[in-house]
Chain A
Amino acid sequence: MARHRRPRPASPRPTARARVRLAAGLVGASALAATVLSGTVAPAAPAAPDRAPSAGTGTSDVAQDSGD
């Protein structure tokens, strides 16, 4: 099959600088996405039993000093 493209000069291997630029670009895009996501994604969720104050009376696992 005939090819009619101008031959390109041999491509140099990537420089270390190009690699650093790519890494910086990918990290930058990730950081931007992370900032947007952490700032906008905040759905409702039920209270976690191990973090919320105990519900109802007489169910606390910590002795309470009523001060009476």
Chain B
Amino acid sequence: MTIEAPHSPQMDPPQPPCEAYPALSAYLSRTEAAGRAKPPGGTQAARRADRAPGRAPAATAGDTGRAGARDTGRGQGTAQARGVALPVRVGPGRMRAGIVAGAGAVAGLWGAQAEPSARLDVLFATGAHLTGLLAGYGILVMLLLMARVPAVEHGVGADRLARWHALGGRYVLSLCLGHALFALCGHAAHTGTDLLAATTDLLGYGAIAAATAGTGLLVAVGATSARAVRRRVPHETWRAVHLLTYLGAALAFAHQLVGPDVAGHAVTVWLWAMMHATVAVLLVWYRGVVPVRQALRHSLRVIEVRAEGPEVVSVLVQGIGLDELRAEPGQFFRWRFLQRRIWHTALPFSLSAPVRDDTLRITVKAAGDHTRRIRRLRPGTRVLATGPFGALTAHRRTRRKVLLLAGGVGITPMRALFETLPGAPGDLTLLYRAGDAAHLVLRDELEHIARTRQAGLHYLLGPSGAAYDPLAPQALRGLVPDIAAHDVFLCGPPRMVEAATAALTRAGVPAGHIHSECFTF
């Protein structure tokens, strides 16, 4: 089975309902309204250019725009008539606001019950209550970020969630340790004993002993996640230790229910338990039940491993009913290949082509032991793929013109988007950065897509750090003169993404129009 870009000269990229692209629709509505309000001296070509991206790239821009507008209306009505559910996405702003609001509510719960006092034991106890409440809430937030809830994964993005989790984990661990210290000092001051006697006294309470053990596990998790340690520890070891977070959170739960701020009223006890139960149910469902259900339902198996270039292979995986996965171009799965020496690790790889004929394709570069072993996969090997994940999809689009900027193996999600993003001739441009021509991957497919869709395609070759930087702002403006009017989708090695983002900003692209996803997390 071969997945190739269609050879028909009138390739028809998929047209999802317009309401799937609310930001783009809003922009196009504004520009259409502005176009209608303009004096009649405006050119017809300019008015046509502002229409929605059309169905057939080979058609004229005017026909394209009118067809696109008609399809938009029909698509909306049809989707609503069928009761089809559009993807739900919780954006990063909303997620952040929700987390902050929750922290505010928890702090408010403490503030409503705190009693001012100058006594040392009371001061320590008050500090212990606040840090304890925030630590308990923080642990729930950290778990929720990693629960793989689709609305959150597709809206915020897996890499951003991982960054928030890593950053938040440090604060949560500090709150846990601060809470333990304040509680110990408060108890010692209250009972008039030393710290050692107070420790022995507190550990006599089962729930507190369990919470202490839980804190110890969280400290171990934090220690192995420190950058200096993580570099030296195998990924599987780090992951096994990290799973202890669940046990640590469970051990700490019981003592939270009897904390004075929570235990004061039956409603607050139930609500605190409800928060924990909700996160636990989401974890069990999305990290346990859904992957097993997907594996049983879709029966994925490797059908072909094809060399694409030096150290790069494409793996084709076939299954049953894969349209149910609703994988969008730009997204990735976490892949576990059930073959000896490779089954114990699941790694994220993007789809390098849209899902067709119940077949998924990934394109993998050998960068370590695991990815090298992927080249030796045998056809027929069972595959467990959880997902799809990722927010680098067409829904982020806010402009008619799109620039796709890929570096190295970051071309894989960009190739899928290059083929499927709706657009009229001239709307799409792909810039592909690589060390030299030998390292270009999927070149034939990219050139075919560019010819068929009348899209721009430029290879930016040369070693990084050379005197001429093809990603410098003036170089980018030279290749794409109206770059500031583009949405930019960016994928590549972290340093390239960082440098390209800075260059794009200096070239005039607003930060909100630069969309990227980093896979080193």
Q: Contacts A1-B301, A50-B125, A61-B117; is A35 near B205 (CB within 8 Å)?
A: no
- Output the least CB separation between B2 and chain A (Å): 15
- Output the least CB separation between B440 and chain A (Å): 31
Contact across chains for A49 and B270 when beta carbons are under 8 A apart: no
A64 within 8 A of partner (CB): no
Q: Of B38-46, B185-193, B338-346, B410-418, which binds chain A?
A: B185-193
Contact across chains for B83 and A43 when beta carbons are under 8 A apart: no
Contacts of B277 in A (CB 8 A): 29-31, 33-34, 37
Indicate with 1 or 0, residue by residue over B312-326, a CB within 8 angstroms of chain A CB atoms: 000000101101101
Contact across chains for B258 and A43 when beta carbons are under 8 A apart: yes
B88 within 8 A of partner (CB): yes
Q: Contacts A42-B257, A43-B254; is A48 near B125 (CB within 8 Å)?
A: yes
Q: Which of B118, B122, B255 contacts A43 (CB 8 A)?
A: B255
- Output the least CB separation between A4 and chain B (Å): 12
Q: Which of B85, B125, B273, B318 contacts A34 (CB 8 A)?
A: B273
Nearest residue (CB) in B for A60 is B119
Contacts of B201 in A (CB 8 A): 46
Tell me the count of chain B residues lying within 8 A, CB to CB, of chain A. 56
Q: Of B93-101, B278-286, B460-468, which binds chain A?
A: B278-286
B115 within 8 A of partner (CB): yes
Contacts of A29 in B (CB 8 A): 277, 281
A63 within 8 A of partner (CB): no
Nearest residue (CB) in A for B80 is A16
B228 within 8 A of partner (CB): no
Indicate with 1 or 0, residue by residue over A31-68, a CB within 8 angstroms of chain B CB atoms: 10111011001111110111100010001010000000
A interface SS class: loop
- Output the least CB separation between A8 and chain B (Å): 5
CA distance A59 to B278 in the complex (A): 43
Contact across chains for A49 and B280 when beta carbons are under 8 A apart: no
Q: How many A-B residue pairs have CB under 8 A?
A: 126
Contact across chains for A1 and B379 when beta carbons are under 8 A apart: yes
B266 within 8 A of partner (CB): yes
- Output the least CB separation between B388 and chain A (Å): 14
- Output the least CB separation between A33 and chain B (Å): 4
Contacts of A8 in B (CB 8 A): 320-321
Contacts of A10 in B (CB 8 A): 323
Q: Which of B189, B257, B285 contacts A49 (CB 8 A)?
A: B189
Q: Contacts A15-B85, A30-B278; is A49 near B205 (CB within 8 Å)?
A: no
Nearest residue (CB) in A for B191 is A55
CA distance A43 to B263 in the complex (A): 11
Q: Which of A16, A26, A61 contacts B282 (CB 8 A)?
A: A26
Contact across chains for B323 and A11 when beta carbons are under 8 A apart: yes
Contacts of B259 in A (CB 8 A): 45, 48
Q: Which of B85, B129, B255 contacts A16 (CB 8 A)?
A: B85
Indicate with 1 or 0, residue by residue over A1-20, a CB within 8 angstroms of chain B CB atoms: 10101001011111111110
CA distance A17 to B85 in the complex (A): 8
Contact across chains for B320 and A5 when beta carbons are under 8 A apart: yes
Contacts of B84 in A (CB 8 A): 12-16
Contact across chains for B255 and A45 when beta carbons are under 8 A apart: yes
Contact across chains for B280 and A50 when beta carbons are under 8 A apart: no
B77 within 8 A of partner (CB): no
CA distance A64 to B297 in the complex (A): 72
Contact across chains for A38 and B125 when beta carbons are under 8 A apart: no
- Output the least CB separation between B335 and chain A (Å): 19
Q: Which of A12, A26, A43 has the most CB of B within 10 A?
A: A43
Q: Which of A45, A59, A61 contacts B118 (CB 8 A)?
A: A61
CA distance A17 to B82 in the complex (A): 11
CA distance A15 to B115 in the complex (A): 51
Contact across chains for A49 and B380 when beta carbons are under 8 A apart: no
Contacts of B324 in A (CB 8 A): 11
Contacts of A41 in B (CB 8 A): 253-254, 257, 273
Indicate with 1 or 0, residue by residue over B174-206, a CB within 8 angstroms of chain A CB atoms: 000000000000110110000000000110011
Contact across chains for B190 and A49 when beta carbons are under 8 A apart: yes
Contacts of B273 in A (CB 8 A): 33-35, 37-38, 41
CA distance A44 to B278 in the complex (A): 25
CA distance A46 to B186 in the complex (A): 11
Q: List 15 A-B contacts (CB under 8 A).
A: A1-B380, A12-B82, A13-B85, A14-B85, A15-B82, A26-B278, A26-B282, A33-B277, A33-B281, A34-B273, A37-B253, A43-B206, A44-B206, A45-B259, A50-B126
- B residues sitting closer than 8 Å to A (CB atoms) are 82-85, 88, 114-115, 117-119, 121-122, 124-126, 129, 186-187, 189-190, 201-202, 205-208, 253-255, 257-260, 266, 269-270, 272-274, 276-278, 280-282, 285, 301, 303, 318, 320-321, 323-324, 326, 379-380
Besides A1-B380, A33-B273, A38-B273, 18 other A-B contacts (C-beta < 8 A): A1-B301, A5-B320, A14-B84, A16-B85, A26-B285, A30-B274, A30-B278, A31-B277, A37-B253, A38-B266, A38-B269, A38-B272, A42-B257, A45-B255, A46-B208, A49-B122, A49-B187, A50-B129
